[in-house]
Amino acid sequence: MAKSKGKYNFKGLDDIFGESVSDIIGVIESDKKKVEDNKTLVDIKSLTANPYQPRKNFEKEELEELASSIKTHGIIQPIIINSKKQIIAGERRTRAAKLAGLKKIPAIVLELSESQMEEFAIIENIQRVDLLDIEEAVAYKKLSDNLKLKQEDIATRVGKSRSHIANIMRLLNLPEKVQDAMLQKKVSMGQAKPLLAIVNNEKLLDSIFKQILEKDLTAREVEQLIKNNNSPKNEIKQNVKSASLVHMENKMMRRLGTKVIIENGKLIIRYSDESDLNRVLDILGLTDED
């Protein structure tokens, strides 16, 4: 390993990136001796963000709390930068250090290629605990499109199953307005995911999506609406069953323990035999006592 002060290089860099670009940060930060041997002080004003950093907003309250800690204890873990003084890891610490009034902060210089810089920024964003499902899907697409990674490669790099990657990326098949609603937290993944079954049925999807926004349907109610209105035996219905009727159907089915259908001015309660009919009538208080 080269021992030049402030510049961290070591054999096997490509091997580490072959597994996961984020692993390299863990390798560096877990070796306290190497951190001490290679850290240097840099002017905080000279630092710039990773140009591929997808995260633009940082919670003000969290930064202020970290700034308060830095004033008391200083920056315990050096940030990691490249020779251009672009931040590879530690932008949050850098922002908090500025709030704390620090002029210089400890850093380790690491040489990364442009593709490695981009990969790390995307993967670091994926690992955020508050990342929305649709944001995660967009991040996976960037890895796929920009770095030409297959789903198996993405799964290896982010430490998740290929099926998880595939399921999340399917959200990108939804119309842009649905994706936007998910980004704005107006629609959850549970509400949006059933719409994938009707992406080729624009009229029905628009109608159900409108009801999701207006009535905050549960995932189960969305699934029921789609089931009721997307039967291959029937043409698309002009009027989608209201959420209140779907809710009432579900409520009655739970109460009666049998299939209930409300449509076209009819209430249909299914039963299997005479004994089952008597059971339902008894629940409804309609048994003949004579």
**Number of domains observed in the structure of the chain:** 3
Q: Are residues 215 and 250 in the same domain?
A: no
Q: Is residue 137 part of a domain?
A: no
Same domain, 233 and 256: no
CA 10 to chain centre: 34
Q: Record the tokens describing residue 103, joined without a space.
A: 């002029």
Same domain? For 36 and 64 the reply is yes
pLDDT, position 97: 93
Please provide residue 267's backbone torsions phi and psi, each rounded to the nearest 5 degrees: -115, 115
Point out the residues that are catalytic: 91
Does residue 11 carry a pLDDT above 90?
no
Closest CA to 38 of 75, 86, 76, 80: 80
Radius of gyration of the chain from its Cα atoms, rounded to whole angstroms: 28
Report which residue type is found at 11. Answer: K
Residue 90 has pLDDT above 90, yes or no: no
Of the chain, the end-to-end C-alpha distance in Å amounts to 96
Q: Provide the 8-state DSSP code for 224.
A: H
pLDDT band at 229 (very low <50, low <70, confident <90, very high): confident
Do 19 and 81 belong to one domain?
A: yes
Residue 30 lies in a domain: yes
Percentage of residues in the chain having pLDDT higher than 70: 79
11, 99: one domain: yes
pLDDT tens by residue, 180-202: 999 999 999 999 999 999 998 99
Residue 134 located in a structural domain: no
**Same domain, yes or no: 14 and 87:** yes
Band of residue 235 on the pLDDT scale cut at 50, 70, 90: very low
Q: Of 114, 142, 164, which one is at a domain's C-terminal end?
A: 114
**96 and 14 share one domain:** yes
Tell me whether residue 33 is in a domain. yes
CATH number for the domain harbouring residue 100: 3.90.1530.30
Residue 94 in domain: yes
Range of the domain at 190: 186-241
**18/99 same-domain check:** yes
Whether residue 151 lies inside any domain: the answer is: no
Query: pLDDT, tens digit, for every residue of 127-180?
Result: 665 678 998 898 899 888 888 889 998 888 887 899 999 999 999 999 999 999
